């Protein structure tokens, strides 16, 4: 028997430290929170995905009176991105959220397990790491890949 561990590398950054491209993506994820349809949780999430064709696709969480029928911002964005540009590879996703008071969350939120799995599919298809930017009001986390967010992922059968 041997002890081992999974280490998740990420950077903690301020908005001003980001590249112009990353700042634009964060801006669009923040704006997308305003298009959230979340009458049940009042928790507004936005996502923006940069594709290798230069397009940026955004999404926001879409809730439903039958709660499980709703979808997170990340899956709204990634399904729409791949349905619209099936040949394009994902490059970076930025995620932002506003709490029930309407203020941006102080600490970044991280995608749920289902969204990590869905995003991993497109990272696998892309054949290259998809960077992840988790956005809080003052602090951002930069992860090098979706895979780094989902250790022991199920990727093939």
Report 118-157 residues binding ligand THU (CB under 6 A). Answer: none
Q: Quick check: 73 binds ligand THU (CB under 6 A)?
A: yes
The answer to whether 92 and 130 are in contact (CB under 8 A) is yes
Q: Quick check: 115 binds ligand THU (CB under 6 A)?
A: yes
The answer to whether 31 and 57 are in contact (CB under 8 A) is no
Q: Give the nearer residue to ligand THU in terms of CB position, either 5 or 75.
A: 75
For residues 14 and 37, give the distance between their C-alpha atoms in angstroms, rounded to a whole number.
Answer: 28
Q: Give the nearer residue to ligand THU in terms of CB position, either 56 or 134.
A: 134
The CB density around residue 25, as the number of other CB atoms within 10 Å, is 27
Residue 50: strand, helix, or coil: strand
Select from 25, 26, 33, 38 the one that contacts ligand THU (CB under 6 A). 38
The answer to whether 122 and 90 are in contact (CB under 8 A) is yes
**Is 104 annotated as catalytic?**
no
What are the catalytic residues? 74
List interacting residues with ligand THU (CB under 6 A). 38, 41, 43, 45, 61, 63, 70, 72-74, 109, 111-112, 115
């Amino acid at each position: 028997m041997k002890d081992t561990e999974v280490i998740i590398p990420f950077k903690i950054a301020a908005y001003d430290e980001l590249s112009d491209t990353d700042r634009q993506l964060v801006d669009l994820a923040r704006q997308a929170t305003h298009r959230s349809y979340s009458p049940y949780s009042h928790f507004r999430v936005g996502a923006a995905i940069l594709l290798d064709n230069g397009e940026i696709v955004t999404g926001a969480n879409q809730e439903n009176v039958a709660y499980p029928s709703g979808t997170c911002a990340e899956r709204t964005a990634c399904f729409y991105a791949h349905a619209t540009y099936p040949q394009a590879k994902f490059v970076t996703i930025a995620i932002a959220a506003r709490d029930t008071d309407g203020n941006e969350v102080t600490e970044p939120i991280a995608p749920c397990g289902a969204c990590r799995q869905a995003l991993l599919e497109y990272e696998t298809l892309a054949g290259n790491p998809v960077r992840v930017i988790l956005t809080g009001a003052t602090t951002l986390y930069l992860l090098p890949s979706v895979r780094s967010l989902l250790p022991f992922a199920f990727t093939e059968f």
